[in-house]
Amino acid sequence: MNQKYGKNRGYANMSHVKKGDIIFHVYNQIIHAVSVAKYDVYSSPRPLEYDGNIWNDDGWRVDCDMHRLEIPLSDHREWLNAHKGEVFDKNGKLKQQYLFKLNEEQKIYFSHLLSKELMQSLLLSDTTLTTKIPSLEEIKRNSTKRTKTNVNHTWVHSAQNDQLKDDIGKIGEQAVFKYLTEKYTESDYEIIPISSNLAGKKGNDAAGYDILLKNDKMITYIDVKTTTGSNQSFYMSAKEKSVLDSSVNEKNKIYNIYRVYGISKTGNDTAKFEIFKENSLKNANYQALDFFVSV
């Protein structure tokens, strides 16, 4: 509450902050830092430095990982003026409030003010995993020599497995996202995180793929399959298979699986990966193990 015992919208917005939310810190119309929420908001007693009767003893707290920068809002006054409303006034200046929630258009604009490297760091920030994202080494098949990994693979659908989102899978997705970002740094490709492992609460785990790679000519759906063991058979969901099937008949869309294996549970060192492209997936053997029945 404020000093008149009324609700303050800026303070109330604090109660909605979730782990992974990106926060811009502004003072005197300059963005001085950007941070990512390490955990969901939680109740906390008033800090000792905030004494006096105008503050309640109980409040909200958000722990953040902060990155310092210097971006004057005055450099973007024209755009902000054209998008005035709850957050910005008619002159393109940020209104006085403790915390605002940006709309989708504002989120996109502000995210483009950050470097690709910083944005990637924010998207991949996760305090529940004190792991280093591994580097990836691509393994390509030798069609003239038969090896243990050069065998027919079976992709299996299990409805039960669709719900498993363990740490190994998350590390694999983060490693592929990092690999793609570094590979396409100087290209016109846009790398879009889709899964909740990469995009946080804004992610969509029902999309049928984890990452979207696109430019003006081609869209590539990328799904990541990760294990600590060898390059063996793995599970696909019905939705993933559906996206694969629909992309086969479209010239400007392809579906690839990045098969990451031999990964450490701590995410250290180098893991191997192999790209299974649409033609290989189209000719694979699919074995249904479970049925989801609704009566």
Strand locations in the chain (E): 22-27, 30-37, 42-45, 58-61, 64-72, 135-138, 154-157, 190-193, 211-214, 219-226, 234-235, 253-261, 270-276, 285-288
Distance from C-alpha of 189 to C-alpha of 212, rounded to nearest angstrom:
10
- Residue 280's pLDDT is 87
How high is the pLDDT of residue 153?
53
Residues 6+ apart with CB under 8 A from 112: none
What pTM does this model have? 0.53
Q: How does pLDDT run across 245-273, given as a tens digit for each residue? A: 999 889 899 999 999 988 766 556 778 88
pLDDT at 160: 39
Dump pLDDT digits (tens) for 51-64: 655 666 677 888 88
Q: Hey, is 279 helix, strand or coil?
A: helix
Regions in the chain scoring below 50 on pLDDT:
1-2, 127-130, 143-151, 157-165
pLDDT at position 49, please? Answer: 65
Determine the pLDDT at residue 225.
92
Alpha-carbon torsion, ordered 235, 211, 220, 162, to 10 deg: 20
CA distances from 265 to 51, 125, 131, 167, 235 (A): 46, 17, 9, 8, 20
**167, 156 contact by CB (below 8 A):** no
